[in-house]
Amino acid sequence: MRAVAGVLALGLLSCQAAREEEPSRPVPSARPATAGTPDRPLASPPLPLERTSPETVEPVARFWDAMPTGVAVASGGRIFVCFPRWGDPVPFTVAEVREGHSYAYPNADINRLDLDRAVDSLVSVQSVVVDPLNRLWLLDTGSVEFGPVVSRGAKLVCIDLAKNEVVKTVYFPPEVALKTSYLNDVRFDLRRGREGTAYLTDSSTTGANGIIVVDLATGDSRRRLHDHVTTKAEPRFLPFVEGRELRRRPPGKATQYLSIGSDGIAIGADGRRLYYCPLASRRLYSVDADALVDDSATDEQVAATVRDEGMKPASDGLESDTLGRIYATAYEMNGVVRRHPDGRYETLVHDPRALWPDTLALADDGYLYFTANQLHRQKDYTGGTDLRQKPYVLFRVKTDGKPVRLK
């Protein structure tokens, strides 16, 4: 998340990141007025969380059909979103947003669900990301409604935005994209290797979590931090969203704690460290990128470079900027926060409309885009009743940040 003059006007909340050994501290409340003092307006300046307004958090598009997850903004301002096949009718899993409307991208045919031709069609895209060369990459989970990954369905698809055509596809073998995998998000460093390197998170709810490293020239991929404790959901993790505890409450089944592992991912400004977080956690982690891409490094050697970056709000998506700041959605507070290199956090967005802020994308002009998709209101979390109220929304907020483009 990036700070901007417009964001600074929000009066961003700043707090020191808690160390692992320290308990989290409550946000200090406003000092009560002395007894007997006359009524008066709120002290100036107002509390930071009171400064977010509809004028600073702008709706960009509204979605009345399937719920969106990923968002990407290309140089020049083209906007793309994706709609994974989680159970809603999904006419197309990737779209370009133009003048507030969604259009199948790159075409309708590739978006048509056909598991018999998963090799050259899109099964269920979870993330869309623009790389440093202004190409659009689609991360296809190869999984419908969180079912087993289908053969040749899990893949990374590159689209030339000038031609609106697929120019490269990387398929993940079954030892990388496991039957239980859920490929969640991706980041790129095009300086590493002949054509660059991609890093992906596996947020599986039923199997091993981890980071996947991809050589974009050869298509070779391998799992790193496989089933490592920092990529897994915290045991008995219990977030609170909209005033109630959030658990899985599938109809006719026992209530369960959230089990979503490594989800958010962001690359440091210099590309030396990769940041990640499980969705079911309030901690941020990083790992040395040199170790991740070193084929000679053992799993133990890679794990030895993991750093606990301390507490943060419970998050879905992450993003980064050229000043070394990390942005995180904050789904318990309907907001977005930004972490400074010294560990301080500030609030960029606190808005009741931001119902489950999911994915972040920082554009070249400093606007931070994020989807709000009411994920927690799905029937799987409510005991069988779908409480979502359409439309879902793509928002943006102005910041002073610039996206990390490593090339």
Q: What is the DSSP letter of 113?
A: -
Return the structure tokens found at 168.
């490269």
Q: How many CB atoms lie within 10 A of CB 383?
A: 15
If DSSP codes are grouped into helix, strand and coil, which group holds residue 350?
strand
Return the structure tokens found at 401.
């940040």
DSSP strands (E only) in 190-291: 197-202, 210-215, 221-224, 240-241, 244-245, 262-267, 273-278, 283-288
Quick one: what percent of the chain has pLDDT higher than 90? 86
In this structure, are residues 78 and 69 in contact, taking their beta carbons and an 8 Å threshold? Answer: no
Tokens 């979870």 sit at which residue? 126
**What are the chain's domains?**
5-12+48-398 (2.120.10.30)
Q: How many CB atoms lie within 10 A of CB 325?
A: 23
Q: How many CB atoms lie within 10 A of CB 218?
A: 11
Contacts of 99 (CB under 8 A, 6+ apart): none
Lowest-confidence range among 19-28, 50-59, 252-261, 365-374?
19-28
pLDDT at 53 over 90: no
CA distance 129 to 260: 21
Average pLDDT taken over every residue of the chain: 90
CA distance 215 to 195: 8
Q: What is the average per-residue pLDDT within 178-202?
A: 99
| pLDDT tens, position by position, 299-322 | 999 999 999 999 999 999 999 999
Q: What is the pTM of this model?
A: 0.88
Measured over the CA atoms of residue 75, residue 96, residue 56 and residue 11, the dihedral's sign is negative
